[in-house]
Structure 1
Amino acid sequence: MTTTESDQQVKPQRHKVTGDVHLVLRRGDNVLYGRRQNTGFEDGAWHLPSGHLEADESVIAALIREAEEEIGVVIKPEDVQFSHIMHNSSSGGRVAFFFVVTNWQGEPTNREPDKCSALDWFAVDKLPDHMIAYCRTAMKHIGVGSPFSTFGW
């Protein structure tokens, strides 16, 4: 059986998705957030330390790399705990992985002042007023122990 040109046109294109990692750095009942600036997206909003997954990089390696780049903390792979995954419709579809870390080396400092105007700790049950919407939704799911959500579909 041969494949015709019309058969190929009927098949949907395979979806490609961008992966993001988000650090839920917890100190007791508080979580660390950074206030975005000069990014062109949601500047002024509080957001978790986060970043994109790079080629040939595991989500754990990406989280550890982003933590060191953005806030200067060192995290061991065994201290990373999966918390939540969200399929987000933005930019054609993204998958956001959220990981809780309660043990790390170093004091969090703002290592990207061109993109982040401040770091601050907020209670788990008292989220900042101005947050990126998908992050707020994910944090509410994390708060009740729900490991999966969708956003914007």
Structure 2
Amino acid sequence: MFPFVLLSMGSLVAWAAWIFVLFRFDPFFGGWIVHMLFYLSVSVALLGTCMLLGIILHHIRFRLAASKAEILTIAREATLVVAFTIIILNLAAYKLLKWWNILPLALLILTAELFFISLDKRPRRNVKHTLDESGALEN
């Protein structure tokens, strides 16, 4: 519970930092440092938010708290989503974003995730649901 609260507070601080950068700095006169602050703050905020969503969805799906290994998997997946988003934002900033740029990038991210899945030696949770005589679910 404590890591979840800590991650929530960190995400809120990161979103506040992003809003601060968004409204306080002018990207036309600030140069590369303002762009770096923008992308860094939005990356940290998105990473925290994606991890929170992953942990919540894991809890809803399995009705269990995520283990350390599962949180590492959630963090890896969140990092890939954030990398995809930041690259898309950069392409849009340079007016290079077209649909044919998104497709190879999505395939690259998918390939990276499949590579990491193939390296994972942990046994997967096999949740088998069966019905008893009354038709209720039993595990």
Superposition TM-score, scaled by structure 2 size:
0.22
Q: Structure 1 or 2: larger helix share?
A: 2
Larger RCO (CA under 8 A, 6+ residues apart): 1
Q: Structure 1 or 2: larger strand share?
A: 1
